Structure 1
């Protein structure tokens, strides 16, 4: 289901607080805030489409250690002992502050 952005319409006609609502496309557009009853209008925003260069794809790429190494990055993760262990890429296997 799509997520729609609405904003409260202030008494002077200016834009107020914005909020998101998950609704079916077949549902009517809201005219009142679901909690406060204030008048609202739907705001047109850019679509969030997952694709090759989307935020979702970036998160998947950055969380994939093998892929990070292929892209030339080195990833270190702090262990419970306070040392940093290599998870991807080139470089020393362990980095410590000692």
Structure 2
């Protein structure tokens, strides 16, 4: 189930304490704090996805020409002015602006 962030609305309208609530997506949005009864609003936050992917893994995967080809990408590297040689994937071996 997703975790949602809410914040208390102070009497002057400014944001107060933030807290998290685990709710079903089908549950109604909270309008009051579950413990204190103070008015609250839902806070939009960036999604968090857990997993083993990291920046280091991305660099390792995307710098491996064989792996790029397996993933369906084609990689070209500039060899001279207006000329690119294929290093991975399908497609022509050479692309030239001539």
Partner of 1:86: none
Where does the alignment leave 5 or more consecutive residues of structure 2 unmatched?
56-98
Structure whose residues are more often strand by fraction: 2
- Quick one: distance in 2 between partners of 1:42 and 1:53? 29
1:27-56, CA deviations, whole angstroms, 9 ceiling, x for partnerless residues? 0000000000000000000101124029xx
Partner of 2:46: 46
- Quick one: distance in 1 between partners of 2:9 and 2:50? 31
1:54-93, CA deviations, whole angstroms, 9 ceiling, x for partnerless residues? 9xxxxxxxxxxxxxxxxxxxxxxxxxxxxxxxxxxxxxxx
C-alpha RMSD of matched pairs (Å): 1.8
- What pairs with 1:8-87 in structure 2 (closer than 5 Å)? 8-51=8-51, 52-53=53-54
Where does the alignment leave 5 or more consecutive residues of structure 1 unmatched?
55-98
- Quick one: distance in 2 between partners of 1:39 and 1:50? 31
- The alignment covers a number of residue pairs equal to 55
Radius of gyration: which is bigger?
A: 2
Displacement of 1:7 in angstroms is: 0.1
Q: Which runs of 4+ in 1 moved over 3 A?
A: none
